Amino acid sequence: MQSYTEENYLKIIYHLAEKTTNVQTNAIAEQMQTKPASVTDMIKKLADKGLVDYIKYQGVTLTETGKNAAIDIVRKHRLWEVFLVDKLNFKWDEVHDVAEELEHIKSTELIERLDEFLGFPKADPHGDPIPDKNGRFAKTQFIKLIELKVGDTGTITGVSQHSSAFLKHLEKLGLTLGIPIKISDITDFDGSVEIQLADKQVNISREVAKHILISSNGKN
Amino acid sequence: MQSYTEENYLKIIYHLAEKTTNVQTNAIAEQMQTKPASVTDMIKKLADKGLVDYIKYQGVTLTETGKNAAIDIVRKHRLWEVFLVDKLNFKWDEVHDVAEELEHIKSTELIERLDEFLGFPKADPHGDPIPDKNGRFAKTQFIKLIELKVGDTGTITGVSQHSSAFLKHLEKLGLTLGIPIKISDITDFDGSVEIQLADKQVNISREVAKHILISSNGKN
DNA sequence: AAAAATTTTTAGATTTACCTAAAAATTAAA
DNA sequence: TTTAATTTTTAGGTAAATCTAAAAATTTTT
């Protein structure tokens, strides 16, 4: 059994490992909003518990056990997010912080019943996949909107930024999950992207375009 | 803002204060499953924070602020219990431990939306009243079953013991909330109570009878 | 490949909530 | 009302997770 803090470390290492193979101390420190020295301490502890593999100065990787524990926390986080949005009418930009707390409630029974109550959802309100109780989930085949070319079409199925500011911005533009889009132009001047929606045309910066995930329905 | 542990102390002091006016160190230690010395430390801290009034060797009482904080935790605990039973189909004897954790989730928004989602329930699965968001709730007018006389009738509306063993026992006997009862006999030998239910007759020990709460519909 | 910059670790402290053992105060009993 | 029993507090310490400052290792730059 892991402590609240240990769980957070595992979760963050898991997310960082999605991008880079061996996760660095400084990166963890930044995510955990703590100091590198503290991270080193905790990493040693996690290594002693067999949750991470650790070689001094070489960063960490999750062991099988550690990865399973991390996936379990991610599963809880995402299920709670679905609960907050589907049942309690939270907006997708309001759920993150509360889910950060709820994900640490320790009860397998609770989370299995919640999963059932929610109808075994496959994705959370931001389009991220929800692992099943065995930790399995489909590797999602997303393309970043910014990688699309003029004329390409697709559907918004995820975001890679969960900040409230970003999500509110998308909401205001009408760029929410499930919305079909077509790239109508990419501005020469600043590379901003002109998008055709069902009923209107919107323009987004490259920075925004980086964090919108599209399930492509092929080139046009 | 209180820590997880401070919240538990406040809650326990609140519950103990329902029985005795000034709450003793040893009683708190027992409930908190800790040592009296630790309680003294924490009490000082709570006193510094203005949550309790404390005179050495004389026990503690909650201040207005402390009481409000405690009631807020009780409110959360009971709402989560309703959620677990009504929405996730937990049994009334299975909810206590999980609710102990959930009660510490810090989000006013969450709890107000949960309250609404549940239809603003007035009592939890054990019949305990749920404070509204202003901390107000009806002082319940329960009578202990053991205080009833032969021929008295009433309805089971609460329990004063939340252990799984006790609740399972009641369940098996058919003594659940809302069940109308009539005292048909009180055994001379051991004082055990013979109860007439709609469809059957059951016998319970005095110890069990102490912890069943009845809303009386008057003498017979 | 040496110097500079960056990253990571060590060493030594701090805070929170807890502990044991012993002292002090209160309450109950003789 | 003195003694005994109980309750509570104090004193000094521990473990978890953090910190700062300085040392060590690694990486990058020149």
Substitution target in A88, A100, A106 with the highest count of B β-carbons within 10 Å is A88
Residue ending a domain, choose from A62, A88, A110: A62
Which tens digits make up the pLDDT trace of B24-42? 999 999 999 999 999 999 9
Q: Kindly state the percentage of chain B with pLDDT values over 90.
A: 93
Q: What residues in chain B have their Cβ under 8 A from chain A's Cβ atoms?
A: 84, 87-90, 94, 97-98, 101-102, 105-107, 109-110, 113-114, 117
CA distance A55 to chain B (A): 35
Residue B121, both tokens:
């329930």
Residues of chain A neighbouring B90 (CB-CB closer than 8 A): 109, 113
- Is A68 contained in some domain? no
Q: Is residue A92 part of a domain?
A: no
Domain finish residue from B62, B90, B112: B62
Low-confidence ranges of chain B (pLDDT < 50): 218-220
Indicate if the pLDDT at residue A117 is higher than 70.
yes
Does residue B55 fall inside a structural domain?
yes
Joined together, the tokens standing for residue B7 give 């919240």
Position A19 in a domain: yes
pLDDT in tens, A156-190: 999 999 999 999 999 999 999 999 999 999 999 99
CA of A5 to C1' of D20 (A): 21
Task: Give me the phi and psi of A219, to 5 degrees please.
Answer: -75, 170
What integer pLDDT is reported at residue B216 of this predicted model? 77
Would residue A115 count as lying in a domain?
no
Which residue stretches of A19-87 are H helix? 25-32, 36-48, 64-82
CATH label of the domain that carries residue B55: 1.10.10.10
Residues in B closer than 8 angstroms to A102, CB to CB, are 105
Give residue A6's pLDDT. Answer: 96
Give me the CATH number covering residue B184: 2.30.30.90
Task: Quote the CA–CA distance of A80 and A95 in Å, as a whole number.
Answer: 9
Residue B70 CA to nucleotide D7 C1', Å? 26
pLDDT at A46 over 90: yes
Picking from B62, B82, B103, the residue at the C-terminal end of a domain is: B62
Does A122 reside within a domain? no
Looking at the DSSP bridge assignments, the partners of residue A120 are none
Q: By residue range, what is the domain housing residue B176? A: 143-216
Q: Structural domain tally of chain A? A: 2
CA-wise closest residue to A218 among A157, A148, A114, A144: A148
Tokens encoding A91: 């907006």
Percent of chain A with pLDDT over 70: 98
pLDDT tier for residue A217 given thresholds of 50, 70 and 90: low
- Examine residue A165 and state whether it is found in any structural domain, yes or no: yes
pLDDT, one tens digit per residue, over B62-105 is: 999 999 999 999 999 999 999 999 999 999 999 999 999 999 99
Assembly ipTM: 0.91
Q: Please count the other Cβ atoms lying within 10 Å of the Cβ belonging to residue A59.
A: 22
What pLDDT score does A78 carry? 98
- For tokens 């609770």, the residue is A110
Q: Distance, in angstroms, between B7 CA and closest chain A CA?
A: 16
